[in-house]
Amino acid sequence: MTTADSKTQDPAGRLLLIDGHSLAFRSFYGVPPENFVTASGQYTNAVYSFTNTLLGQIRAEKPTHIVVAFDLSGPTFRTEQYQEYKGGRAETPAEFAGQIDLIKRLLHALNIPWVTVESYEADDIVATMTARGKDAGFEVLIISGDRDSFQLVGDGVTLLYPVTSGPSKGIRRMGPAEIEEKYKVPPHLYPDLAALTGEQADNLPGVPGVGPGFAAKWLNEYGDLAGVLENQDKIKGKKGEALRENVDAVLRNRKLNRLVDDLELPITLDDMDDYGPNHDELNALFDELEFNTIRKRVSETFADREAEAAAQVDMTMGQTQSIETAAEFTAWLEVASSAIESVERATAVPTRLEDAITVFPVADTDAPEAGNAREKQLLGMMLGAGSGAAWIDLVDIQPDTEKVVGEWLSDPSSAKTVFDVKQQYKNFHARGFELAGVLEDPMLSSYVLGYIPTARRRTFTAMMEDLSEQYLRDAFPAEPSAETAVQGDLFATEPVINLEYTALVTRYIQELSYVLHQELENQEQLALLETMELPVARVLAQMELAGIALDADALADLKSHYDSHIKQATETAYSIIGHEVNLGSPKQLQAVLFEELELPTTRKLKSGYSTDAESMADLLTRINPDSDGAQFLQALGTYRDYTKLKQTVEGLGKATAADGRVHTTFQQNATSTGRLSSIEPNLQNIPIRTEEGRKIRAAFVVDPKPVDGTEYVSLLTADYSQIEMRIMVHLSQDEKLIQAYRDGEDLHRFVGSQVFGVEPEDVTSEMRAKVKAMSYGLAYGLTKFGLSKQLGVSVEEASKLTVNYFQRFGKVGRFLRNTVKDANKAGYTETMFGRRRVLADLGSSNRQRREAAERAALNAPIQGTAADIMKIAMINVHERLESEKLKTRILLQIHDELILEVAPSEEERAREILEQEMSGAVELLVPMDVQAGTGNSWHAAGH
């Protein structure tokens, strides 16, 4: 079989070459010097930015070898040949003084070698090392802002070009295609182009009047510079005359810009791979430079490198045993632990997983996608232990073998590793097995560590590719082409399972489990996996299996109701403008709004002016409310509102399964805050704010049909009141707000009385709405400009409200400021339970990205803590229901609300359990208010 063929073609390593002076100068000009000055007066902006870039590229590119080249201050062979070489450069800024020496000290503390060569420049050293790296089979990466380096780019050689200003600020990757796209010549001809045009930075004048466009045209026509000069007489006009008059200058330029690639260097490739921090030396240097936040980034960068290097394991697999009898299964389990121990690996197996067997079920789809599917018929399962594997056919399994396998799967003391444990709970349940004893799920562990796959990378294969590359430093093997079984002269319809490949996949899952488990322990995140994510996965699986009943007739009535409103709004819109228009077409709406009705224009887009809901709402405030334009916008808004409600109802109808229930999928690894999301269908989107939207909740009902012998009688719902505000008050420890909650006051009325300086009973509904929006806005990092827009007041009034708020509740202000300050130091935020959210953009030089990260830093600890509390409550409620042997069950978790389906005669006890466990999920300085209700529908149970 074929696995990862690319391994045999992998480069010998990845060599990162840095032009030290070039990067140092660009670093200097990329960050204002005045922002980085020590108490002694030493400027450090170039050192700081250089370090950030270096760490960023180590993390992004993961080089195996690094070396930095520097210029010397004396003459070079080029100045000897042409005295004016680089003679026009401006004097080095005084603030730059001493920073090169500090960068060299930094490199020494990181064990990264740096090199100089008498009479030669840094880019000659880079050229020489590029040649050596290519000869040795390395992939070469060059960090340099010197365009002379373009000539080095080619197969296996990429330039990382620092851009220090503008919207594309950062590192620009330039391969042959990028250089040719920009300069219209391939990299090896760039020096010829520069010889013709000259190089201002090097004080090398070119042919007057000849820019890159003409130079590229000549080179493409005549092949190279030699061809251009051979055909110089054919070039007509003033530019041809200028060329002939400056041939000597062109030849001089070409001689000087040719990089030397055969220098004798005091260093070899073998001296460049053992890099990593000397922490004592580095900390002493950072103390001197007064660098604080960057220390954490250094530790994380090299921790990743060390972990990746250590994690590489020989993935050679032994023979896969096909198990048919109960005795064979028991015998295989007895030797599994020794099989795990027999594999030589750089990282030890975590103690908790020493006896853990990896379980990889194969469903009636392609094996790699089984973990991403809904519950399906299981064909078999592969068990992995070290390089050993066992296959159990679940289609033709013998009864006695099935009994033993089922007992082992359901035994909580039998340690197991599973990828996507929630899905596998469901798959096994559908097959008649129960799964227990799962100690590790690489999908959930990687999520706790910060990996959130994009929508396109949520398949099993894509996630394994990402995680194998990041944590094992190994390419996840591609599935071999399917083998075809033949029965007589007909192709078989049964799926063919490649046991060798399936065993290898199981091995990758197991090795990922070890590395991720250890990393969780290193980052003090293991408790989140063990006490929160794994237990709640089991709860979610049972919720998804149960689903919730939908009243088909109620859905049909709602659709008809919404259709009538859509029709009415459409007719109203047509009557205003005198003709029909597609109200769902932005292009047609643009013509009606801005041409026919001549309304003020909105935000400019590539396709015209915006017609989105926010733009239309803003436009409505800017025009005469009695005008045709206003009437049309109101009709459009009604049309859109009811169309969205109708689409929601139609989506629910399509998602209803044969059992009359909708079985949503709760995504456990899709948000950065720890909150759950819901898909297929998205039940988090069921409206609550409007009466028309709330009608949809009335279609979610208790199922009158018996389920597993139980006739459920009602739905029980409970939600947290103002949970995020209570968390913010707890974390800020503001005495006034704490007391207000303890006294049972209406918090927003109490805050309103303080902010507006009136008695609580004199706080109007408008005042209350303003302070409510402000209180939540502060927790979400809302600025005074954002607050003014949200409240519809002036920036001055919004600013005054904020000032008054912080004057009354100073500890809230200090908490919010310290939250951002602490996040800047650590590089991440934490919930009350230690869940981290890494915010890489906190130190970004891009103001918008930095401010977005700061807003996230304000919100993440609060919203993340709320998500953690809800998960704890779900686990505790579920365990209480099970331990008391109640048949009442959890169906949904929507935002801060739980919905249960209640069995006969259990309503009172179920309500007690729900309220106790939700209010007691965590102990805060303020009471956790839980409001519960019952009814025959979700809407009726509302409270």
3-state SS track over 392-452: EECCCCCHHHHHHHHHHHHCCCCCEEECCHHHHHHHHHHHCCCCCCEEECHHHHHHHCCCC
Q: Give 933's pLDDT tier (boundaries 50, 70, 90).
A: very high
Query: Phi and psi (nearest 5°) for 793?
Result: -120, 170
pLDDT at 486: 33
The rounded distance, in Å, linking the Cα atoms of 759 and 748 is: 13
Strand 157-163 and strand 139-143: the pairing is: parallel
List 721's β-bridge partners, or say none.
Answer: none
Least confident window among 127-141, 294-308, 484-498: 484-498
Q: With cut-offs at 50, 70 and 90, classify the pLDDT of residue 937.
A: very high
Three-class SS state of 487: strand
The pLDDT > 70 percentage for the chain reads: 93
- Angle in degrees, CA 732, 734, 739, rounded to 5: 130
Q: How far from 480 is each of 309, 370, 464, 791, CA to CA, in Å?
A: 27, 17, 16, 59
Asked if 120 contacts 263 with a C-beta cutoff of 8 angstroms, the reply is: yes
Q: Give mean pLDDT, residues 364-393.
A: 73
Number of C-beta neighbours around residue 420 at 10 A:
23
For residue 373, name the pLDDT band (cuts at 50, 70, 90): very low
Q: Name the DSSP class of 277.
A: -
DSSP letter for each residue of 740-784? HHHTT--HHHHHHHHHHTS-GGG--HHHHHHHHHHHHHHHTT--H
Q: What is the pTM of this model?
A: 0.70
Q: Token digits for 131?
A: 């040649």
pLDDT of the residue at 375: 59
Q: Is the pLDDT of residue 383 over 70?
A: yes
* Region of 146 on the Ramachandran plot (φ > 0 left; ψ -120 to 50 alpha; else beta): beta
- Checking if the pLDDT of 372 tops 60, the result is no
**Which pLDDT belongs to residue 938?**
96
Helices (H), 441-525: 442-448, 460-467, 499-522
H or E element that contains 609: strand 608-609
User: Contact, 472 vs 311, CB < 8 A?
Assistant: yes
36 by Cβ neighbours in 10 Å (0-12 / 13-18 / 19+) ranks as: buried
> Do residues 896 and 718 make contact, with C-beta atoms less than 8 angstroms apart?
no
Torsion sign across C-alpha atoms 224, 228, 234, 236: positive
User: Tell me, what's the pLDDT at 88?
Assistant: 60
Query: Among residues 111, 453, 340, 294, which one has the least CA distance to residue 842?
Result: 294
Could you tell me the pLDDT band of residue 490, with boundaries at 50, 70 and 90?
very low
Token digits of residue 487: 């029965």
pLDDT confidence bin for 771, thresholds 50/70/90: confident
Beta strand segments in 282-432, E: 320-323, 357-363, 378-385, 388-393, 416-418
Higher per-residue confidence, 785 vs 580: 580
Q: How far apart are CA 248 and CA 236, in angstroms?
A: 19
In this prediction, residue 10 carries a pLDDT of 60
pLDDT of residue 551: 95
Identity of the amino acid at 768? R
CA dihedral (42, 43, 46, 51) positive or negative:
positive
pLDDT at 208 over 50: yes
- Answer yes or no: is pLDDT of 367 > 60: no
CB neighbours of residue 136 within 10 Å: 15
CA distances from 641 to 241, 557, 570, 646 (A): 71, 17, 12, 9
| 3-state secondary structure labels for all residues of 188-221 | HHHHHHHHHHEEHHHCEECCCCCCHHHHHHHHHH
d(CA 643, CA 613): 13
The answer on pLDDT for 170 being more than 50 is: yes
Mean pLDDT for the chain? Answer: 88
Residue 78 has a pLDDT of 82
Pair of tokens at residue 63: 């080089």
Rounded mean pLDDT of 66-86?
Answer: 83
Cross-strand partners of 605: 608
In one letter, which amino acid is 467?
L
**Sequential DSSP letters for 793-844:** --HHHHHHHHHHHHHH-HHHHHHHHHHHHHHHHHSEEE-TT--EEE-GGGG-
Give the least confident one: 168-172, 299-303, 364-368, 475-479: 364-368
**Cβ atoms of 713 and 900 closer than 8 Å:** no
What CA–CA distance (Å, rounded) separates 628 from 639? Answer: 16
Gyration radius of the chain over CA positions: 34
Q: How confident is the model at residue 7, as a pLDDT?
A: 34
**With contact defined as beta carbons under 8 Å apart, do 294 and 285 qualify?**
no
Spatial separation of the C-alpha atoms in residues 485 and 489, rounded to whole Å: 10
pLDDT score at 366 = 43
Position 298 scores a pLDDT of 84
CA 568 to CA 638: how far, in whole Å? 9
Q: Which residue has the higher pLDDT, 471 or 106?
A: 106
pLDDT beyond 70 at 41: yes
Contact between 704 and 904 under an 8 Å Cβ cutoff? The reply is: no
Of 51, 44, 50, whose CA–CA distance to 24 is shortest?
Answer: 50
Give me the pLDDT at residue 495, please.
61
What is the sign of the dihedral through the CA atoms of 527, 533, 536 and 542? Answer: negative
Instruction: Identify which of 511, 509, 475, 479 has the alpha carbon closest to the alpha carbon of residue 497.
Output: 479
Provide the 3-class DSSP secondary structure of residue 315: coil
Select from 900, 842, 829, 901 the least CA-distant residue to 868: 829
pLDDT tens digits, one per residue of 527-581: 999 999 999 999 999 999 999 999 999 999 999 999 999 999 999 999 999 999 9
What's the sign of the alpha-carbon dihedral 457, 459, 465, 471? positive
- pLDDT > 90: what percent of the chain? 53
Strands 700-701 and 548-550 turn out to be antiparallel
Pairing relation of β-strands 357-363 and 416-418? parallel
Encode pLDDT of 795-831 as tens digits: 888 888 888 888 888 898 899 888 888 888 777 899 9
Looking at per-residue pLDDT, the higher value among 840 and 631 belongs to 631
Cα 97–chain centre separation: 40
Rounded-to-integer distance, Cα 249 and Cα 787, Å = 63
For residue 83, give the DSSP letter. Answer: T
Q: Which residue has the higher pLDDT, 176 or 849?
A: 176
Domains of the chain, earliest start first: 13-176+260-305 (3.40.50.1010), 325-480+496-547 (3.30.420.10), 552-662 (1.20.1060.10), 723-863 (1.10.150.20)
| Biggest distance spanned by C-alpha atoms of the chain | 104
Low-confidence winner among 448-457, 479-488, 830-839, 870-879 (lowest mean pLDDT): 479-488
Question: What mean pLDDT comes out for the span 872-880?
Answer: 98
Instruction: Single out the residue of 143, 145, 182 nearest to residue 159, CA to CA.
Output: 143
Lowest mean pLDDT among 146-150, 667-671, 881-885: 146-150
In degrees and rounded to multiples of 5, residue 671 shows phi and psi of -125, 150
**How far is Cα of residue 85 from the mean position of the Cα atoms in its chain?**
48
